A and B are shown apart, each in its own frame.
Chain A
């Protein structure tokens, strides 16, 4: 405010100066006899005195104009002091509201064109107190809940104070409850908003629509194209994909402390806790109670309570008094019956109690039904079938009931428990419509956190056996063992399904051999030079990889036979979402040390395969390079070890599946290379590998590896069958 104030003062000074200039012009006429020498003194004197007078006069009135014209929010931030806006009786009224509105007809997306990060920007109009010609207020200035709602929006990422960049506008005119406002005048106030423009991109929040006697199911205030987030929509008034159906907030959510109760069977099977139920419905409910005895409890208002007791928090059955909402936790199913309005605050209380709502309100559009799957948390019974409600509910298996109870509580926690939750869910829904490619998924909206944590969504979920004709790309990581490399190339090129060979030259100090020196093979051979000698380079998603299947192979793996490799590829085709490798390894829990241990003994189980030679889907290269959790990639490059274990962790974590070990191969025995590769026998090597497993398990936050006791062999492997008739006779040795 300070700055604004100063600027104003300068402006005022300017006005005075201008005035004095004017005076100056008139000056000669008023004091003609003065000598020009003295005249200047007089003029200065007069103007200074005048300036003093004007300034004094100004300051007498200025304080008021400061408060009304500049931002009033700094000093006295009281709702009572908000500026007053007078609505002339004949100011325009918006159209009633267009029922055919859809996002692509009534919503101006261009305003959302430059919102970064696929997030809409929301502007909130400043608060004003609207009065009519006679000074009578149009409505309560603002309710506690609406203030909370606007605060929540203002604190969120959606908020912007720049009206020109906003995509959605939220008026500060409180229309949460239609009963507290004057319809025509509120509409006029809406039409006066600076960017109203027929209500385009304006969002109104209303929880209690309609009024006596016929209680419309949507806000009666004419609002033209404005979006309505309303509690209690019916299918007749709800504009699918345009309006948002929101809950009616229950004040008890904040007032009462109600700890979560575990799902399971409860004392009452069916409970009705609403007080104002139409007599016909009450008769139906009481008939249910009469038919099923103790299992059904129908509560009503208490008539004989002593003064001073909050009647809102008490319910009675005959002479028995129950605490509300606590009594809801005693029931498995709770009736949410239509009253005068479709939307009922009791729905929120019921969900909170982990009681499964039985919604008996024909044509009611349940809150956030655009994204929430209410089938998982509620039972909808047509009003006509109310008498059958008990038998309908009885047919639901207990396991499903518990699932629904859990889901009900989760819906409350996520979307009902506070005004903030309601506001943000509403904005998220609108955001999802505008940026559909960045929208939250069904699972993100509906799955409770416990399910989200346990579930795995396999990125390659479609059961698909890739055609054999596509073949695979072999990627050989090499440093400088050219001779061994050439032998590997020659051996691998004999595999029928090889379609391309990629050599990753990881030595920056040495150039790869000349073209003429490389072995001549039948498939394209490409050499990629890397910028740094890193183990991760083997798992980089090179553009040169055109096939889905990738064979990672070290430059010293010369012992694998052509049959063995071809069979490995065939197995990969049947399990394209898994790592398919040769020697298997195992992780074990070391009870003495209380940590994981790497095991290379020849055991009956496997949980990893070595990537010295392994087939996998090229998508995992992308995951390894760009989506590896934590600092695992750097750790691997720093330690020059365990890139294969990291890959095993990654694939198992993302697919939830075990590796496939093929053929009897147990180790990569390399007869020529002894000194350096004696490493794998080394005790320190084992310790290092165990270290890796523990490190990765802590980064992943879990142990994703799966242990299995099977390996894949050709169908007729070691069967008593003529060798020459077998597809893969030379499957190799240990």
Chain B
């Protein structure tokens, strides 16, 4: 019994073990080879039957969408294609009529009106206009300003709304576009409405305060962060990330910091601005100060976001990730910091520093929509000198402008065109033509005959084509974008000027290095005249200069377009009345665009005495000419001229080395 029991026990035991082993071993074998695979991170599986999977659309389905009748725009919604009738703008470009405002208007509104009326968009007749502008006035809460006549459901209207509208939105808008200061993201219609900056009351009409940035890189020791305070000021904070500087969460550990009252500009590398709408005013301050705005989940649409690439000038971060944002700011590479800082300044100067710029930018955006394919390229909006100074009517290709050669990897094309203006005495400038035609780089000579006397019928034989054009007896005609000009470079000359071939050659070579500047031979310098309380200028030889005379200067042909199509008419008229003004005006224009001085190249001294008209009225300019510079400064709203203390000479200029080494030896002849 005992042994049977024992035997049966062992039998059962071994049988069951056998069973277990038989079932388990194959499983184990199966499991082992898969082990390394299992420990690797598991991605999306590679299906055996990938090839057999059906396509997401049946072959016929994609191109064969069942047709559907055209849809009318849905109620309430508006976009550019549906609600704006651009056909009226095709013929005359963007013409703006401003609805007359009833009742008293504030100073801020007056500035807006003035800036539009002085622009070339303005028209006095509503029939001619393709955009009707309606100024939404400040009214008691709950009321709405009355709808003007010819409202037409708001079609082709732009409602300017500089203050948060107290009246219900639905009535006002209709099919009208709304240009509003810091609109909330929820009601903003991208591509249709325009987001304006929130301007302070005292924003200047023209010119405006320049950006505060004096140097490219942050000054060492400047705090990393400034924080926008609720009351309007700024608080600078130390660089310690542990003192998390907003939400008041870590109040006790603020470290060294200062509070600045409202109105002062922040002095820090980054400016932290919370995303609530009242903080929008801080945004502009930071921009002006060159303090990189760090916007925490802004609830408002950034100004002109349709065209301005704000990622180049500001950082929009999520307020819920404070430590990541702080760490990112601290670790931000210097190269990025530099680029952001500079971009804030460029944007401030180009689009925000005056009411006029803000308004013109608004209209330019609408004009771009009308232009469609021939609008400003993004590069033109987002790099100096900015879209207001780079007219798309000149060219749609950035390489044609003098400003973008670096970004495009291009060069100014070809040789130069000599444009000789012949004024009153009407003497054909034969010697000058020979000197210029002798240059290898001269592509054509254009004579702009502006004398009462008829031009001679015979002109000297030259190696390059010579064209005589009949001028309009107006000085500003010199800077008209004549169709005949075929090269990027223009050598502007006066019938009286006298230059030699090698002077021209060297100057052209220098211009190719600086295609956005004017390169000239004779210079003037401006100065602040304490006694007169105004600007003055002198033609006397000095250690500095800020203008080159256009009676002999190289510049890009784009400036002819800019001179004719973007300058206010009043300034051009002034130049026509006082011919010496035209030089000042051109220099103002180029300096306002480049923010840099012109370039002087060597000029043989014998010419100084030989050509009195080059220096109008002798060393001291006439009183009328003197007024001119002040009127120009008033017209621009500031003094754009910049002085330079250098002259660019050939590398071996007047060096005591063998004359045989020198390429421009004739420049040195007395």
Contacts and interface: CB of A to CB of B under 8 A. Distances in A.
B297 to A, nearest CB: 4
Given A403-B397, A466-B214, A715-B647, A109 B318 contact: yes
B312 A442 contact: yes
Interface stretch (A49-57, A218-226, A480-488, A516-524): A49-57
B485 interface: no
A661 B56 contact: no
Given A55-B23, A454-B408, A710 B216 contact: no
A602 B373 contact: no
A248 B42 CA distance: 29
A584 B661 CA distance: 15
Contacts of A18: none
A717 B649 CA distance: 9
Given A2-B38, A71-B42, A465-B642, A395 B57 contact: no
Given A464-B216, A570-B645, A619 B651 contact: no
A267 interface: no
Interface string A453-489: 1111111111111110010000000000000000000
B651 A709 contact: yes
Interface in B214-228: 214-217, 219-221
A589 interface: no
B15 A52 contact: yes
Contact of B32 (A2, A55, A236): A2
Contacts of A312: 59-60, 63
B297 A104 contact: yes
A6 to B, nearest CB: 6
B216 A576 contact: yes
B311 to A, nearest CB: 6
Contacts of A68: none
Contacts of B654: 664, 717-718
**B63, B297, B372, B649 — most chain A CB neighbours (10 Å):** B63
Contact of B513 (A363, A373, A708, A727): A708
A303 interface: no
A215 B68 contact: yes
Interface in A127-166: 127, 140, 142-147, 150-151, 153-155, 159-161
A251 B50 contact: no
Given A235-B190, A362-B79, A442-B378, A345 B653 contact: no
- Chain B CB within 10 Å — which of A118, A236, A461, A622 has the most? A461
Nearest to B662: A604
B324 interface: yes
B93 to A, nearest CB: 13
A363 B189 CA distance: 12
Contacts of B316: 436
B315 A451 contact: no
A602 B408 CA distance: 33
B320 A109 contact: yes
Given A251-B57, A602-B657, A656 B406 contact: yes
Interface in A398-454: 399-400, 403-404, 434-439, 441-442, 446, 451, 453-454
Contacts of A463: 384, 594-596
Contact of A6 (B31, B185, B334): B31
Contacts of B372: 379-381, 392
Given A49-B12, A144-B53, A363-B79, A437 B329 contact: yes
Contacts of A362: 73, 79, 81-82
B509 A709 contact: yes
A456 B408 CA distance: 8
Given A147-B53, A436-B317, A664-B655, A714 B645 contact: yes
Contact of A438 (B63, B328, B656): B328
B661 A460 contact: no
Contacts of A721: 541
Contacts of B32: 2
A604 B651 contact: yes
B669 interface: no
Given A55-B20, A78-B47, A159-B44, 11 more contacts: A311-B60, A339-B67, A340-B65, A362-B73, A383-B81, A461-B339, A462-B345, A467-B214, A662-B646, A708-B513, A712-B647
25 contacts: A2-B32, A3-B35, A4-B38, A41-B5, A55-B23, A71-B38, A78-B48, A80-B49, A100-B186, A104-B275, A104-B320, A144-B56, A151-B44, A362-B73, A379-B372, A392-B372, A437-B317, A455-B406, A455-B408, A461-B383, A464-B216, A571-B645, A604-B650, A604-B663, A710-B651
Interface of B: 5-6, 8-9, 12-13, 15-17, 19-20, 23-24, 27-28, 30-35, 37-39, 41-50, 53-57, 59-70, 73-74, 77, 79-82, 86-87, 185-186, 189-191, 213-217, 219-221, 275, 297, 309, 311-312, 315-321, 324-325, 328-329, 332, 334-335, 338-339, 342, 345-346, 372-375, 377-378, 382-384, 395-397, 406-410, 506, 509-510, 513, 523, 541-545, 594-597, 600-601, 605, 642, 644-657, 661-664
